[in-house]
Structure 1
Amino acid sequence: MAIETDVADLKVEAFDEGLVLTPLGPWTAQTGDGLETRIDRLDLSGVSGRRVAIDMGEIERLDTVGALLLERLRGAAEAAGASSDFFDARPQHERLMTALREHGKEPPVALKKPIWPVAFVEGIGRSVCEIGDDVSRGLGFLGAVVAVSGRLALTPWRFRFTSTIHHLDRVGVGAVPIIALISFLVGAIVAQQSIFQLKNFGATLFVVDLLGILVLRELGVLLTAIMIAGRSGSAFTAEIGSMKMREEIDALKTMGLDSIEILALPRLVALVIALPMLSFIASMAALLGGGLVAWVYGDITPVTFLQRLKDALTLQTFMVGLIKAPFMAIVIGLIACTEGMKVEGSAESLGSRTTASVVKAIFVVIVLDGVFAMFFAGMGI
């Protein structure tokens, strides 16, 4: 083990290609005056066209003053016509030297803004690359979730039931009032507009068929998924992003805990359980709103409405809508957690990632609904 001293020096050794300069001891502010004199008296007259290697392996301590003296030493060698470089530096010394070299550099000159067609094409290219990165990151996150789920299947006592119940209460029970209210109003509006159009053809009664099939197959689950993406998805992103900013996720990793198991999986499980239930509640609320409007505006009594609804719907119609819910829940949870993990150390980053989480989740949910619609149409369902 090397014993640190307070004596600093500079050893000079010749070799075939030039000189090896070896700084010794502490190169700090306390020893700076003597080292400055030593560097000024160094004879480099015969190194022109040769190499000067500065071996930093023997430096015991280094601060900013010492780093400046090392840069001065290299500058003296280059002024004498030699090529110079540092080697064998400790990581902390190398970081200090790099920071010193970067300090004071003028910022890069801003390029002239391209004309709008070029900028438009460039923007499209950047967007495509970002989409590819998002897909790759999302698939990687999904793979991590599957791996954690498989591990927990073998050790179920490690699953965080308390956390899952907590998130299920927030995502499910807490969302019932707003989802029921909005679905009720949307069902009423759809029924009212349909009645006014179908009345021209004397087919007012068919509003029941239209409303029932539309709500159970598409509208109920789609409205619910969009509202959950805005309500719970944004909350998940903000929570995980705040933990990322406060370095709590790094602390979990330091303690040997898996952030996917602790943070992501309970939220995903809660979403998968809650979204089908909320979709069912939303569908019932929309049918209730549509039935009320049909009674008031279309003179369709509740008994007639229920009988017509019974004739128009099948269990298959109900299940088509309900099957979509778990897949939409997984998509919302994956996007929310992934965007939360991408948050950096600023409030601006947190806000932009939360916004991106909601926008991406809603977009992907709508695309997924369209894919399911084409799939079921192809299956003849």
Structure 2
Amino acid sequence: MLEDGTQFFQFIGEWKLPEVARTSTEILNILKKSKLDSRAVVDLSEITKIDTVGAALIARLQEQYKGKIELQGLNEHAKQLISIIPKGLGNDLKDNYPKSTTVYKKLENFHTFIGKKIVLSIDSFLDHMNILGLTINSIYELIIGKSRSKEFISDTVKHINYVGVEAAPVIILISFVTGAVIAQQGAFQLGNFGAEIFVVDSVSILQLREIGVLLTAIMIAGRSGSAIAAEIGAMKINEEIDAIKVMGMDVVRTIISPRICALVISLPLLTILADFSSIMAASIIVWKYSHISFFVFFSHLNSSSTLLNIVAGLLKSPIMACAIGVIALKEGLRAGFDANSIGNRVTTCVVRSISVVITIDSIFAIFYFAIGI
């Protein structure tokens, strides 16, 4: 308040849409509480930027407190904006909108949440497709000889050793146990009807078409996918990715393509190992519990299993491998510069990879049924 009793207000900073939307209610409440019975001066000289929203709020103040406030320090740009505001437009900022009830706010928040999730999901999908497209383009350039393939092949072989060779023992073990459990449960249930021989059919169909590739992909998503995400996140923290860019090297060809190619090559081979391990376990269990010899088991397996069943299972593996690799690389690149962020990205990578793998398997199952395979 000035010496003559005049109240003094000063507006500072940017008076643009985000700031006005956030502070307009508070400003109006302050002026209302001050009870402008006498003259008031509003200093606008410290306003750095203003748009039509800010000008509309000032126009509202002029109309609402006409004759009671004096605006000072307006620059020419602000004066022009205020002059083009139609009379009465500033009053639209009054509280003549219906007050939001609790139910309305919850509904509004729910719609906002759903909208954000949809937009983020679309952006995430496009980012994943971008990584896949860059990888395909990089491999195409290698095939036509546009870029050097020596480093790419050596990097791919190194990752195949980690993704495929080192993962083989655990894949074989888990598949062996799974095949044994399926055969044991089938032998017990079908034994009640004297149909133990059909255990061979159930094992061959389940393992070759579904369980083999699905279980292998889930194991690779949890083991190799998480490792790739953590590795890329650590490289980002250590600024190794920036160093690769500074040295003029292609990040896609150096980091992304070898890992995806290693997964695409390794997963079908691991699926074959998983199928073989599971069938061997089933043959042992059937011989032990149902007294079906190995010769009879494999003879019936040969007649009940077709090449189509094997191909139907193996066709899924490259697509699942691409999905695991793209998700792992994307989550690794999204990691922040702290350990907690890497942990969150790895967790997200595993959950999304497994979810996508199961979704892909379901889509293939529906597709095979539709075309009669």
TM-score for the superposition, normalised by structure 1: 0.69
Residue 148 of structure 2 corresponds to 157
Residue 82 of structure 1 corresponds to 73
3-state SS of paired residue (1:172): helix
**Aligned AA for 2:248?**
G
Aligned mate of 1:141, from 115, 131, 146: 131
* Separation of aligned partners in 2, 1:50 and 1:125: 38
Q: State the 1:146 CA deviation.
A: 2.0
* Separation of aligned partners in 1, 2:44 and 2:188: 93
Map Cα deviations across residues 249-306 of structure 1 (whole Å, 9 max, x no partner). Answer: 1121122212111101111111111111100000000111111111111221111111
Q: State the 1:318 CA deviation.
A: 1.0
Q: 1:315 to 1:84 in 2, by over 3 A?
A: same
Q: How many residues align?
A: 283
Once the two structures are superposed, the pairs formed by residues 184-199 of structure 1 within 5 Å of their partners are 184-199=176-191
Q: State the 1:141 CA deviation.
A: 1.2
Q: State the 1:143 CA deviation.
A: 1.7
Once the two structures are superposed, the pairs formed by residues 1-381 of structure 1 within 5 Å of their partners are 81-83=72-74, 123-153=113-143, 154-158=145-149, 159-381=151-373
Residue 66 of structure 1 corresponds to none
**Aligned AA for 1:250?**
D
Q: Quick check: 1:52–1:84 contact (8 Å CA) kept in 2?
A: no
3-state SS of paired residue (1:345): coil
Q: Quick check: 1:268–1:334 contact (8 Å CA) kept in 2?
A: yes
Residue 107 of structure 1 corresponds to none
Residue 14 of structure 1 corresponds to none
* Separation of aligned partners in 1, 2:110 and 2:317: 37
Where does structure 2 lack aligned partners over 5 or more consecutive residues?
Answer: 1-41, 49-70, 77-101
Q: Quick check: 1:221–1:321 contact (8 Å CA) kept in 2?
A: yes
**Aligned AA for 2:331?**
E
Map Cα deviations across residues 33-62 of structure 1 (whole Å, 9 max, x no partner). Answer: xxxxxxxxxxxxxxx9897999xxxxxxxx
RMSD of the TM alignment (CA)? 2.7
3-state SS of paired residue (2:249): coil
- Share of identical aligned residues, percent? 41
* Separation of aligned partners in 2, 1:181 and 1:115: 54
Q: Quick check: 1:53–1:84 contact (8 Å CA) kept in 2?
A: no
Residue 60 of structure 2 corresponds to none
Q: Quick check: 2:177–2:278 contact (8 Å CA) kept in 1?
A: yes
Q: 1:117 to 1:289 in 2, by over 3 A?
A: farther
Q: State the 1:81 CA deviation.
A: 4.3
* Separation of aligned partners in 2, 1:189 and 1:264: 38
Q: State the 1:335 CA deviation.
A: 0.7
**Aligned AA for 1:219?**
I
* Separation of aligned partners in 1, 2:315 and 2:44: 75
Q: State the 1:116 CA deviation.
A: 7.5
Residue 81 of structure 2 corresponds to none
TM-score for the superposition, normalised by structure 2: 0.70
* Separation of aligned partners in 2, 1:317 and 1:215: 9
